[in-house]
Amino acid sequence: MLWKMPLLFNSSLGIKFSPEQVAAEMLNFMRADEKRRYKITIGTDSERAGDSRADFVTAIVIHRVGNGGRYFWRHLELEKIHTLRDRILNEVLISLNVAKQFLEVIKLYSLPAFDFEIHIDIGENGETRSMIQEVVAMVRANNFAAKTKPESYAASNVADRHV
């Protein structure tokens, strides 16, 4: 990839966290109720910002299934994004990159068991529906579970809120 990821994530309260601090916050959240099931999801959404620029927001969500969650997000602006296809492919590549980086960080922590998914901001009803098989295959080729709309809340709802 030709871009450098911003280092810090924002919390929903506006506090800045390093990836290590995000992992520690997630660990504390999970340890508060270890009997629950947890799901960690990563998703990216984007919006055109000019002729050839686009803003991308990636969210990391920790969901205590059936009982709330927390999320962290970071913003990235890319140049030379000319088509919707370019934006969608970059959303998936950014999510994959963040997922790999994040999983390296959380290896340092003893987290309880959790499910892990990459959320993609496309679905059967939009103009990107023809890309579903391609981008889901990209995610699965990297050994991650993939979810699309309407199940892709990390991208479609959480990241979308900050783009």
- The tens digit of pLDDT for each residue in 37-64 reads 999 999 999 999 878 899 999 999 999 9
Q: Is 26 in contact with 111 (CB distance < 8 Å)?
A: yes
110: in domain:
yes
Q: Where are the beta strands (DSSP E) in 4-155?
A: 9-11, 16-17, 38-48, 54-64, 69-78, 115-120, 145-147
Task: Kindly report, residue by residue over 83-127, the tens digit of the pLDDT.
Answer: 999 999 999 999 999 999 999 988 888 888 999 999 999 999 989
Q: What is the residue range of 62's domain?
A: 9-162
**Rg (the chain; Cα; Å):** 15
> What is the average pLDDT score of the chain?
92
Between CA 38 and CA 46 the distance in angstroms is 26
pLDDT of residue 6: 65
Between CA 110 and CA 23 the distance in angstroms is 10
1: in domain:
no
pLDDT of residue 7: 79
Residue 70 sits in a domain whose CATH number is 3.30.420
88: in domain:
yes
pLDDT of residue 107: 87
4: in domain:
no
Angle, to 10 degrees, between the axis of helix 19-31 and the axis of helix 84-106? Answer: 70
65: in domain:
yes
- The tally of domains found in the chain comes to 1
